[in-house]
Structure 1
Amino acid sequence: MNRFRYILMLINCVFDRFYRVDKARSRGEEPVGGAGLGLSLAKEISEAMGVKIALTSKEGVGTTVTIEFPVTKEIASLNS
C-alpha cells in the first residue's frame, strides 16, 4: 500500500472513538497523548447541532478540515 492510500485510510478512522493515528503516543508511564475521543466528540456534537465536519487530504499538499454551518432564515435575512 502506498503512503497516500494509507493516509486516506487513516482519515476515514480519525472520527472513531479511541482511535489514535500515532500508536507511540499511547499512555504509558508518562501521558503524552489523549484518549482518542476529541474528534469523535466533535463530530457527534456537530451532527447534533446540524453542523457538518469533514476531512480531506491531498498528497504533497496537506489535510483540510471543512466545517459547514446551516444557514437559518434569521441569519439569511441579516444579509438582505
Structure 2
Amino acid sequence: MALDAGSYHTVGATASGRVLAVGDNSYGQCEVGDWRDIVAVAAGSTHTLGLRADGRVVATGNNDDRQCEVDAWSGIQLP
C-alpha cells in the first residue's frame, strides 16, 4: 500500500494496515510493530510517521526537534 525510505531505514504499510520497517534503529524509528490500521507512511532521516485510517497520526524515532509530537493530530486525510 505504501512505502518510504529515510536516510538509513525503509518503512512500508501492508494492505492489512500493518507496518514493517528495516534498517538503522538507533532512534527507535523502526519501532512500528504495534501500529495498526495504517494507510500511509513517511520516513524522515531518523523518525517515522504513520497515518491511520481514522485520520490520526502516529510517530516514532528521534524527537529532538519535536517532529514526533503528533498525538493531538486528527482528521488528516490523503489527497
From the two aligned structures, give the one with the greater strand fraction: 2
Q: TM-score range by the shorter chain?
A: under 0.3
TM-score by length of structure 2 reads 0.26
> TM-score with structure 1 length normalisation?
0.26
Structure with the larger helix share: 1
